Amino acid sequence: MKKNTKINVKDLNLWYGEKQALHNLDVKLYENKITALIGPSGCGKSTFLRCLNRMNDLVDSAKIEGNVIIDGKNIYDKDVDEVSVRKRVGMVFQQPNPFPKSIYENIAYAPLKHGIVKKGSECDDLVEESLHGAGIWDEVKDSLKEPATGLSGGQQQRICIARTIAVKPDIILMDEPTSALDPISTEKIEALMLELKKKYTIVTVTHNMQQAARIADMTAFFHLGKLIEYDETETIFVNPKEKKTEDYITGRFG
């Protein structure tokens, strides 16, 4: 497997107040690959994910040390603007969270603000392209003016993905994007992720081992805020080096 490092995490530590939630993480995440983060609840997967687009800045108690280098630049450097980081590193959440606006406005909102497109046909094109990209164009093309909150959970999640790719990020972070969805919607999102990785680098959290095995190229296993094992997915699932990883994957704990 040919691997280009997109995100290089070096010696990352994070504390929530007194409590350390991430310990000395060193990991390279690769371009145009899906990396799955797995591990028992509370092991720090979401926390780690939020470190990659500086969403932890929003948590007052969070204190971060270490480097997250994206395209050769540490995003925690003083001269880096967290807003521009989030433009380049999009995020999809566990619960679909479309804005209480129309489908069109949901997609067009950020690109218009960022000045990626101008109002009018240019914007219309981007909305269509993004909805296509999220595999939901056919379902909503006739109801762009309808509120996005009226859609089904799976559709809402794809709207959220479309909203994210409309900003044209390099990296998309997904925190258990399918855990709130039914199996059919899950299948659609998984197919979409495989499609999206051609253009984007994807980091996803999942509790579903099969899902990780199905879609991820790389898998990282976390336990108690530490990265226990990180390797190609096949290796992790077929031939894990650590006893803990094996125990977790085979369902003996977690």
Ligand X SMILES: Nc1ncnc2c1ncn2[C@@H]1O[C@H](COP(=O)(O)OP(=O)(O)OP(=O)(O)O)[C@@H](O)[C@H]1O
List residues binding ligand X (CB under 6 A): 16, 21, 39, 41-47, 59, 61
| Smallest separation, CB 31 to other proteins (Å) | 14
Q: x/- binding map, residues 24-63, to Mg ion, per CB under 5 A?
A: ----------------------x-----------------
Complex with ligand X: residue 16 or 30, whichever CB lies closer: 16
CA gap 97, 92 in Å, rounded: 9
The single-letter DSSP state of residue 102 is B
Complex with other proteins: residue 53 or 219, whichever CB lies closer: 53
| Smallest separation, CB 42 to ligand X (Å) | 4
CA gap 84, 98 in Å, rounded: 21
| Smallest separation, CB 17 to Mg ion (Å) | 18
**Residues numbered 96-135 forming contacts with other proteins, rule: CB under 8 A:** 97-101, 109-110, 113-115
| Smallest separation, CB 102 to ligand X (Å) | 31
Q: What is the largest CA-CA distance in the chain?
A: 57
Residue 145 burial (C-beta neighbours within 10 Å; 0-12, 13-18, 19+): exposed
Q: x/- binding map, residues 25-64, to other proteins, per CB under 8 A?
A: ----------------------------x-x--x-x----
41 binds, among ligand X, Mg ion, other proteins, none (CB under 5 to 8 A by kind): ligand X
Residue 93 burial (C-beta neighbours within 10 Å; 0-12, 13-18, 19+): middle
In the block, residue with structure tokens 């929530």: 16
Stretch that binds other proteins, among 22-30, 32-40, 160-168, 197-205 (CB under 8 A): 160-168
Task: Pick the closest to residue 174 from 148, 149, 208 (CA basis).
Answer: 208
Residue 199 CB neighbours (<10 A):
14
Complex with ligand X: residue 188 or 223, whichever CB lies closer: 223
**Residue 203 is encoded by which pair of tokens?**
């980091």
**Residue 186 is encoded by which pair of tokens?**
């899950």
Tell me the C-alpha to C-alpha distance, in Å, between residue 190 and each of 102, 112, 206. Answer: 25, 28, 12
Residues in binding contact with other proteins, number by CB under 8 A? 37
**Residue 52 is encoded by which pair of tokens?**
């990659």
| Smallest separation, CB 114 to other proteins (Å) | 6
Task: Pick the closest to residue 98 from 159, 31, 20, 37 (CA basis).
Answer: 159
Does residue number 146 form part of the binding site for other proteins (CB under 8 A)? no
Q: Which of 2, 18, 41, 79 binds other proteins (CB under 8 A)?
A: 79
Name the site residues for Mg ion (rule: CB under 5 A).
46
